[in-house]
Structure formats: C-alpha cells, structure tokens
A and B are shown apart, each in its own frame.
Chain A
C-alpha cells in the first residue's frame, strides 16, 4: 500500500547500496541472530533508557493472580499502591498489563482491576518483593 507522495524523507538515513560498489545484495536471513542482536545494541544504545526486567516479580505476579484469594476493598489497594514509589508503580503496571490481562495491549484500567482482585496478603507480599527486587537492582547499578 503506497503512501502519499508528499511524505518527507526520514532524517538520519544512511544511504546504502551494493557490496564494494558492485550490484550484489544480502538476505537479512544470512545474518545470524547474535549479529543482529549486537548490531541493535551498538546502534540503539545511545537512545535506550535503563530497563530492568524484574523477572522474579513477574513469576510472583502470575502466581498470585492465579490464586486470587480473599478480595479486599479498593481503598485498601489504593493505600498499598500509594506506598509505592513512582518508578515501582510504573514497573508494576508495566508487568501487570500484558501478563495478567488476556489479549493485546489491554487498557491500564484492566490491569488495575486485576490488582483489586488480589488478596491483601498477596498484595503486601507483592509490594515487599517488588521493593526488594528494585533495591537489589539499584545496588547492582
């Protein structure tokens, strides 16, 4: 599907073509995964912000979501969440959305709804583990 001809040329485009000036091409599939990974890291590093995956937290979240023990009122959840730092809350939301809510790109409200469904004990444990994990990640630099 074509774009309008008026579209501007992208900035920063590195002109490419040929191999040593000769009319040869290369399939992207000829490049091993590790080469592509290294190329991405080399090119993208100046633009990437620090990100820590918090894998252990994800496993915990999935487990607690499956159990869904005693439901607690929204006020209690809000109080718990209010204790989180902004960065912690962002990380929590980031990991809740795709993992606890089925479907692609669920709205933030759906993630929040799942938090509400958690038990008080689960939520406290969740926060404790999250804070521990972030503290450890922070200490590692």
Chain B
C-alpha cells in the first residue's frame, strides 16, 4: 500500500515492543544523522497493534489512548532514550493516530477497542438528530441534554478540547441511529466560552466532524454578549490575556 510506504510503515515480523534499543535503532534511525525517527516508531507501533487486533492475535485495548501510550509506546521510547515525561511525547502519539485515522483512513479508533468515553456525556436524537447542541464543559451536559431531548435533538459535552476519538464515536452513533443517512449535514449549536479558546474549540469540533466524512457542518454560537443585559455583561466579563490570539479574535468581531 502506497500510504504505508510513504509513512515508513511496514509489517515487521517481530513484535517491536520486544526489540532492544540497538535493534530499534537499526530499523528506525535516519540515515543522515543516525537519530531515531520517533514519529515513525510510533506509527509502526500503532500499525502493529492494529494488525494484531484485527487478526485476532491480540485482544482489543479496552482502555483509552493514554492506556495505549503506557502499554505500547512509553516503554519503547524510554528504551531509545527519548524523553517520555510531559505532553510532548504523548501528543506525538495523539497526532499520529489523527493522521492515520482521519487523513489516511487506514483504520478506525474503534478497531482498537478503545473505550467510548464520550458515551456518558452524549445522547443522540432521532427526529432532529442532525441538530447538535454541545457544551464545552461536562458540567453543562445535563442542561444541553434536557434542552435537546425536548426536541429529540442530539446533545453532548466535549469535556474541553474536542477529542478526535470521541468525535469518531459520535459520528458512528449518528450513523447507527440512521440520522446521517439522508444527507451528511449537521447543525452545531455551541455553548462554549465567549473567548478565543471557545472559538477554537467549536471550530475544531466542526473540523473533526468534517474529517470524519460529514460534508456540511454549520456552527451557530449561542454564547454571545448580546443575549445578556448590559448589566449582566458588565458583571460577567473578564479581561483576556494580551497576545496575538486575543488580538486576532477581537479583530474578527470588528471586521478588520
């Protein structure tokens, strides 16, 4: 397969998790510098886990992405002398999954047996299932659920920055319920903070849905200052940190 070759992924006979540092170095080092290509190591570990689970020679993960990091990736990278503390290394794993799942479509997250952690903060409507009322914070799930259920719409809480894995499970649930059958289009109604982070959370969620094949996604931000009285705004507003992120966000409102 061309994609696998382009990504430097191969079907290795040996379990990569059991190779020594020297053996890993031999397979995954850059020819020029001799340094290990960490991204390639991670992608091959993911691919090897996928094929083993698919072929029934290994049980499904039955955990989350972090479980996979601990069981399959962290020990290997540590053996290679790669720093494994902090967010940098784990983000490499998350990014590798996103690339292999949503860009190359090599497999689904659910093929690994990852837990559908978002199921507890999601309810899929039938009559209006393509209308999704979502909250940034888990604490607001009960509210969005109650509002959505009155119209048989879909509701969920993202629990912060949207997870690609949870979005895949959401799209799968919508497909299973038959609400995406007629036309893959969604209306998103966002309950996110009115600040740059909220803006990017809603936008990222929409982008993930599109990456999973929903052709048309329209976002309707519900949290806007004009929905409150001037007194409520004055009491609730907070100053944003200075920086380009804030400047760009404010500039959008003025149409600069």
Contacts and interface: CB of A to CB of B under 8 A. Distances in A.
Q: Classify chain B's interface size.
A: 35 or more
A39 B194 CA distance: 14
Contact of B135 (A28, A47, A53): A28
Q: Classify chain A's interface size.
A: 35 or more
B204 A12 contact: no
A83 interface: no
- Top 10 nearest A-B pairs (CB, nearest first) are A25-B195, A17-B253, A30-B236, A7-B207, A10-B206, A18-B250, A12-B218, A15-B252, A17-B249, A39-B222
A25 B131 contact: no
B194 A3 contact: no
Contacts of B249: 16-18
Interface of A: 1-4, 6-19, 21-31, 33, 35-40, 43-44, 47-51, 53, 90, 94, 104-105, 107
A40 B187 CA distance: 11
Given A2-B98, A23-B242, A15 B253 contact: yes
Contacts of B148: 40
Given A7-B208, A7-B211, A31-B223, A16 B253 contact: yes
Contacts of B51: none
Interface in B106-126: 119, 124, 126
B237 A25 contact: yes
Contacts of B124: 105
Given A25-B240, A36-B147, A47-B128, 5 more contacts: A4-B211, A18-B249, A21-B253, A27-B236, A39-B223
B216 interface: yes
A121 B124 CA distance: 32
Nearest to A30: B236
Nearest to B164: A1
